[in-house]
Amino acid sequence: MNTSNNSYTVIYSAVLVIVVAALLAFTANTLKTRQDKNREIEKKMNILWSAGKALDIEGKDKNSYIESEYAKYIVNSFLVTSKGEKVAGDAFSANIKNELSKSVAERRLPVFVCNDNGVDLYILPVRGKGLWGAIWGYVSLQSDFNTIFGTTFDHASETPGLGAEIATLAFQKQFKDKKIFDGKKFVSVEVVKNGSVPLTEHSVDGISGGTITSKALGKLLFTCLSDYQSYFSREKEMKEEAERAAKEAEERAIREALEAEEKARLEAEEKARKEAARRRALREQAAATATETQND
């Protein structure tokens, strides 16, 4: 082949472009698979951390450990509407950012259920805008749908040493045992200026020097958790109804047991009375027989 003519140059360039494009496509696809898996593991890890699980990850194979812990503790997940109704769909794949961009009525929000020794925790994703970019996390609630068990928060680009402190354990542990309802009123948990006011069961200290991020976090908690209010109400009503039914069943069982006991006591008394009468009759008959014998 004449390597000096134009057709050779065109063919060579085309082949080179095709080969390079194929290699780039293969590399991109391979990396995407790994990146997707890393994001999946990171998400599962944050869900578990909010419930106080998988904390001893150091020294372990991250992927296999997180997969194992997730399968062990996350026993259920589902989507709910703004009316608190459960709907079909994959909770894990739900994009909370996209859902929050919809109208409240159109949102389908994820719920993850963690169970440890029969105790359920309900884990909810939260997301909003910080000072420089997105901030997000998970909040786990106890089965009263009021008391926070744990949280985990992260960010895209908050200032190191300031707003970025929302991702530290020292900040996150403040939320444990805080309440999101004041009586029946939803109030969420407020992030207040550090040391500015006495803390209540509905507030935590913000980050010194990170006021904007702190306020943004408080805002996203209120916004995201408020979307679950109808779900909380439905679950509370169902639990209360189940508790009432269980209590009524227990009271009925006690009442029936007492009635059965009373019936058995009366039957025993009647049996004893008849037995006493029978023995008395036998004694009287024996005495009459003895009298007749003596007279004879």
Per-residue pLDDT of the chain (296 residues; tens, 9 = 90+): 555 566 666 676 777 778 777 777 776 666 678 888 999 999 999 999 999 999 998 889 999 999 999 999 999 999 999 999 999 899 999 999 999 999 999 999 999 999 999 999 999 999 999 999 999 999 999 999 999 999 999 999 999 999 999 999 999 999 999 999 999 999 999 999 987 789 999 999 999 999 999 999 999 999 999 999 999 999 999 888 888 899 999 999 999 999 999 999 999 999 999 988 898 888 888 888 777 777 66
Q: How far apart are CA 29 and CA 44, in angstroms?
A: 23
Total length of the chain: 296
What pLDDT does residue 2 have? 53
Write the DSSP assignment of 208-235 as a string of letters. TT-HHHHHHHHHHHHHHHHTTHHHHHHH
Q: Which of 92, 122, 213, 200 is nearest to 160 (CA)?
A: 213
- Residue for token digits 């996350």? 74
What pLDDT does residue 224 have? 96
What pLDDT does residue 31 have? 64
Write out the E strands in the chain.
Answer: 74-80, 86-87, 109-116, 119-129, 134-141, 148-155, 181-182, 185-186, 190-192, 203-205
What pLDDT does residue 30 have? 66
Would you list the domain boundaries of the chain?
Answer: 62-227, 239-285
Q: Model's pTM, two decimal places?
A: 0.77
What pLDDT does residue 22 have? 74
The answer to whether 137 and 151 have CB atoms below 8 angstroms apart is yes
DSSP β-ladder status, 203-205 and 190-192: parallel
What pLDDT does residue 28 have? 64
What pLDDT does residue 80 have? 97
Question: What's the one-letter identity of residue 25?
Answer: A
Tell me phi and psi for residue 54, to 5 degrees: 60, 30
